[in-house]
Structure 1
Amino acid sequence: MRNPLRYRVFYTARQKIVTSTVVLALLVWGTFVVVDRATTPEDRSCAPGVERPQGSGECVGVAIAGDGYDFGQPHLAPVAAAIGRENATLRGGRYATVALLLPLTSTGGGLPQKVLHELQGAFAEQYRANRDNNQTPKIRLLLANTGKDNVHWKRTVDQLKTLTGDPHRLRAVSGIATSNAAVRGAVGELTKAGIAVVGTTITADDIANGPRRSPFPGLARVSPTNGDEARALADFGAVDSAKALLVHDTRTGDHYTDTLKNAFSTLLKKSPYEPQLFTSAEDPNAEGTTANTFRQITHLVCDTRAETVFFAGRHTQLRQFINALGARGCKERRFTLLTGDEASYLGADRQLDREALDSGLTVRYAALAHPDAWRAAGRYAPPRTGGSPAAYAEFLRMLGEASKAPTGPIGPFGPATLADGQAIIAYDAMALAVRAIREATPPGQWGPAVADVGRQWPQVKGPLKVEGASGWICLDNYGNPYNKAVPVVELTNTTPKFVALAWPEGKPPADNCMPPRRS
């Protein structure tokens, strides 16, 4: 039997026309949508100067508006907004810009907290500089994101190189916080373009200039090198190399790990023990299988006469090694583990077995700064030279003022959050950048020529040193800090504890703080 509905819908002339028209309209509309999507670029912008690269959900680049954009990071929102409010007060064109170049969207391993603290410290110095006896030029601060693990550094650096003219007037880049290949590339590109760079927490010996080679003209640093840290640690601990051994990463290309390993190896030339080796994952923040390797290494360490273990590796592997030592079979023996400033990440690492630190294991590291280094307490009195309590007190005062409305808030801070040293060292790096910008400014001019800023480093010494919150910043002719104070800090099951100041030269600098000739 025929279906009358089917007949009526599909076989009458009228229905054929209607059906054909509807189908044609749908085909035309579908074709238009496909063509439109294929020919119209996807909007991947996040803010002026910032967008999501293809294949990435991160917003990277330079926030050129300087209006408080936080790169989608809620924990950075208060301090980013404060920076935006401060930038908005700058009128009349008598300002110079400093960009803060950091992996702002990094996750895990304590990185979000460290990035936050760097922004807080840098902003405190911007706030101070813009109220310092009406000196000019005023300082505008821009945030520049290289993305997680600095993957998008090239894109961001290429942007920065275009910002030296009006209206941005970029004259220095600070931040530059990790000693790896990406950061080395960024420093190279920026200094090649004549832009001054002030590193905060880069410590690798090979991201530096020297008397034989200066691959980064215009680079200055406020942190000691890994070599200086190692010498300060060894001098402080009076280490007997006959009872010491080295544990180090075999993965090459990481400038922090490579140069720390070399520095420790030099110190332990007379050690009777060959180094114990591990190989981290390509991503140093990945857990990988190194925890198993460290469990085996602890058995080998127990079979030596070693009392001191030097560790050259990143914080994830350091945490795994500490956890393994906490579960060692020879708990009746006491060990001291010495390492570089990467250990500062562990203060906020929830995966650290804090009971390991109560098992006869002492973990000490060379910090870049610490809130107790320049404050008298109990029997401790800071040394007469190399830094000053007054400079640290000024830092605290500026941080406190900048956090209050209407300038602030800038997010949480206090003794615990200052313990990683990031805010302190970022404040000092900005102070060094501000000094160079203003000293390079000719009388009567709004600001300096781009190339002149990085030429100021040889004069930052003696009476012209920067009185940093982390200690005196006396630069040699190549932009490296001379005999910079190294706080020795001990990990505890609560807050990292300041132990004492150590010095690469074995004692604090003289009053004049003049670096010796280097050959």
Structure 2
Amino acid sequence: MPNPLRYRVFYTTRQKVVTSALALALLAWGTVYAVGRLTTPEDRSCAPGVARPVGSDECVGVSGDGFDFRVPALGPVARAIDRENDKLEPGRYATVALLLPLTSTSPSMRIKILHEVQGAFAQQYAANNRSNNQVPKIRLVLANTGKGNAHWRTPVAALKAMTGAPHHLRAVSGIATSSAPVRQAVTELTGADIAVVGTTITADDLTNGPGRKPFPGLARVSPTNSDEARALAHFGRVDAARAILVHDARDGDHYTDTLKSAFSALLEKSPYQPQLFTSPEDPNDEGSTANTFRQIAHLLCTTRANTVFFAGRHTQLRQFINALGARGCTHRPFTVLTGDEGSYLGADPQLDRSVLGGGLTVRYAALAHPDAWQPAAGRPTPPRGGSKDAYQRFRSMMDAVSGPEAGPVGPVELSDGQAIIAYDAMATAVHAIRQATVKGPLPSLEDVGLQWPQVTGPLRVEGASGWICLDNHGNPYDKAVPVVELTRDKPRFVRIAWPDGKPPTAECMPPRRR
């Protein structure tokens, strides 16, 4: 049978002409479309100042206009920041950036970051609305370094270009992890005369000190790992003969490397060699370390140790706790002591909380805790080093940004201490900016980072986490270290410990260091 389409479509000369014209038109359109796709760059923008790097779907860059970096939980606080920024007069404000891995895929890291942004915004609102009209006003922007801080160069380059009008960037806060990319970012920023205030960095080698100044203009509001270890030792009065160290054998992580060194110094007289594990390249990955911890738990049962110092990141800490909870010698009690990474586990759904208490106690050196300055039966607050009033001022600001006055900023949770320490870091940045403002409405860029030696004595920052008295190198002196215990419910504050074994004097003047 002849093809009917042949006679219906191509039967007459007119039909042949029309069909050919349509075919040529479609071919031409397809060619133009293909050439356009090949010659026109792909639009990878997410928002003004924010774009997706080649090979990544993360939105990386700097924004203070309410963009949430496609992280829905950040939406409410990002919009609140935008509303506050919109009230500011051009030329009358200084900008502070919060540099964080906002698009981290780690659930516990995302919670930590949300709380830090909320705390930083609470301090911005306090500085602009509750400080007797001091100047300059403060503009807050969010800077995303991407998962694992892999894209830190993009926001850092943008921040370096924001020191002039209209932004007048004068400080960068955040700086939340003691990792190699963060170290590089801090080096780049401080090398450009931008003051940096670290929130939760604790690595000993991310500091300045006598005779060395790799990060000019860097200040920190959290104690170093060595200070945390000293505080834990004073708190626990640990017998080194019955203590053992479990640490990550992977080099290059400044947090675990310096915590390992600090704990090793404390356990110099321990009869046991350290037990080693090797974390994945990305310490947020599960890897196979759970298998190693099952073996280490078995080996611990053969020792006389009753205290374990753990130097590792929070994912491996959680795996270790779960493995130790399933040990064969459950009749043997163990206490695990670790650094501030323990704060991540309060909201970790994979932690087996049923093993906590009884024969397994897990305590960590927190950076802040909401109960630290609240008096309780049998637990009076220290006479110095912090105050209930300073914490109450923080609470009043969190109430303000949680409700219609300035927020809402989303659900607020204070037990991990992240909002508290971010609030204090922002307060320290604001303090330096305003101390440096002596001529005109704004301080010079380089003058802000020169203020740290004077943040002491009566010029200290009365932080919600405790007094922030900086030495000549921008490091906190004898900073309060809340010791917190993981429980089956929520983390429980135990007691404040001190790196020097006791609170600072009323003057809070750092001693001369050789």
- Pairwise same-fold verdict (TM > 0.5): yes
**Are the equivalent residues in 2 in contact too, given 1:188–1:216 (CA < 8 A)?**
yes
Code of the residue aligned with 2:150 in structure 1: it is V
SS class of match (2:91): coil
Structure 2 counterpart of 1:98, which letter?
V
Aligned amino acid, residue 512 of structure 1: E
Q: Residue 125 of structure 2 aligns with which residue? A: 127
State the shift of 1:92 in Å: 4.9
**Counterpart in 2 of 1:26?**
26
Provide the rounded CA distance (Å) in 1 between the counterparts of 2:224 and 2:300.
Answer: 28
Change (3 A) 1:3 1:155: closer
Contact 1:432 1:466 in 2 (8 A): yes
The answer to whether the aligner puts 1:35 opposite 2:30 as a matched pair is no
Q: Which amino acid aligns with 2:504?
A: P
1:19-66 Cα distance to aligned partner (Å, 9 max, x none): 432322222111100011111111111111011111211111001xx2
Q: CA deviation at 1:81?
A: 1.2
In the alignment, structure 1 residue 451 sits paired with structure 2 residue 453: no
* Residues 108-257 of structure 1: pairs in structure 2 closer than 5 A: 108-131=106-129, 132-257=131-256
Cα distance change of structure 1 residues 5 and 320 upon mapping to structure 2, 3 Å threshold:
closer
The 8 Å contact of residues 326 and 359 in structure 1, kept in 2 or not, is answered as: no
Choose the corresponding residue for 2:502, options 507, 510, 518. Answer: 507
Tell me if the contact between 1:109 and 1:285 (Cα under 8 Å) persists in the aligned partners. Answer: no
Letter in 2 for 1:20: S
Determine which of 409, 425, 428 is the counterpart of 1:429. Answer: 425
Shift of 1:381: 1.0
SS of the equivalent of 1:110 reads helix
- Structure 2 length-normalised TM: 0.98
Distance 1:3 1:229 in 2: 87
1:469 to 459, 464, 480: 464
CA distance in 1, matches of 2:199, 2:37: 45
Q: Secondary structure at the match of 1:136?
A: coil
1:109·1:345 contact (CA, 8 Å) conserved in 2?
no
- Name the amino acid aligned to 1:423: A
- CA distance, structure 2, for counterparts of residue 4 and residue 384 of structure 1: 100
Amino acid at match of 1:144: A
- Long gaps (5+) in structure 1: none
Q: Where in structure 2 are the equivalents of 1:249-288 lying within 5 Å?
A: 249-288=248-287
Question: What is the CA–CA distance in structure 2 between the aligned matches of 1:89 and 1:176, rounded to whole Å?
Answer: 27
For the residue of structure 1 that corresponds to 2:26, the secondary structure is helix
CA 1:31–1:511: 2 relative to 1, 3 Å: same
- Tell whether 2:99 aligns with 1:104: no
**Equivalents in 1 of 2:495, 2:457: separation in Å?**
24
Once residues 507 and 516 of structure 1 are traced to their aligned partners in structure 2, the CA distance between those partners, rounded to angstroms, is 14
Q: Which amino acid in structure 1 is aligned with residue 431 of structure 2? A: R
- Which whole-Å CA distance do the structure 2 matches of 1:138 and 1:3 have between them? 80
What is the root-mean-square deviation in Å for CA atoms of aligned residues?
A: 1.3
What displacement does 1:7 show? 5.6
CA contact (8 A) 2:402 2:411 kept: no
Residue 86 of structure 1: aligned partner: 84
How many Å separate the matches in 2 of 1:155 and 1:130? 29
Shift of residue 401, structure 1, vs aligned partner = 1.9
8 Å CA contact 2:90–2:166 kept in 1: the answer is: no
Which amino acid counterpart does residue 298 of structure 1 have in structure 2?
A: A
Structure 1: distance between partners of 2:403 and 2:6: 77
Deviates more, 1:89-98 or 1:130-139: 89-98
Going from structure 1 to structure 2, the CA distance change for 1:10 and 1:487 (only over 3 Å counts) comes to same
Q: What does residue 306 of structure 2 align with? A: 307
Instruction: Provide the rounded CA distance (Å) in 2 between the counterparts of 1:4 and 1:398.
Output: 80
In the aligned structure 1, how far is the partner of 2:2 from the partner of 2:348? 76
Deviation of 1:108 (Å): 2.5
Q: Which amino acid aligns with 2:253?
A: D
SS at match of 2:356: helix
Shift of 1:107: 2.5
Separation in 2 of the partners of 1:97 and 1:192? 18
Partner of 1:49: 49
Task: Give unpaired runs (5+ residues) of structure 2.
Answer: none
SS for the counterpart of 2:42 is coil
For the residue of structure 2 that corresponds to 1:479, the secondary structure is: coil
- 2:122 touches 2:401 (CA, 8 Å); kept in 1? yes
The answer (yes or no) to whether the contact 1:331–1:359 under 8 Å persists in 2 is no
Distance 1:193 1:272 in 2: 48
Question: Which residue is 1:401 aligned to?
Answer: 400
Q: Counterparts of 1:336 and 1:8 in 2: how far apart (Å)?
A: 88
Equivalent residues of 1:246, 1:309 under 8 A apart: yes
- CA offset at residue 178 of structure 1? 0.5
TM-score (norm 1): 0.97
Q: Distance in 2 between matches of 1:142 and 1:472?
A: 26
**1:62 aligns to 2:62 (yes or no):** yes
TM-superposed CA distance for 1:10, in Å, is 4.7
Q: Distance in 2 between matches of 1:501 and 1:412?
A: 27
The 1-side partners of 2:503 and 2:135 are apart by 34
**TM-superposition CA deviations, 1:85-125 (whole Å, max 9, x none):** 11111125211010111111112341121111111111111
Comparing 50-59 and 288-297, the one that deviates more: 50-59
Q: Which moved more, 1:374-383 or 1:342-351?
A: 374-383
Q: Distance in 2 between matches of 1:135 and 1:5?
A: 83
Distance 2:449 2:276 in 1: 40
Distance 2:387 2:336 in 1: 29
What letter corresponds to residue 96 of structure 2 in structure 1?
V
TM-superposed CA distance for 1:8, in Å, is 6.4
For 1:439, the aligned partner's letter is Q
CA deviation string 1:333-355 (max 9, x = no partner): 00000000001000000000001
**Counterpart residue number, 1:368:** 367
Deviations 1:235-287 (A, max 9, x none): 11000101000000011111101110111111111111000000011110101
Secondary structure of 1:163's counterpart equals coil
Q: 1:361: Cα distance to partner? A: 0.4
Is the partner of 1:358 in helix, strand or coil?
Answer: coil
Higher mean displacement: 229-238 or 16-25: 16-25
The match for 1:441 among 428, 437, 455 is 437
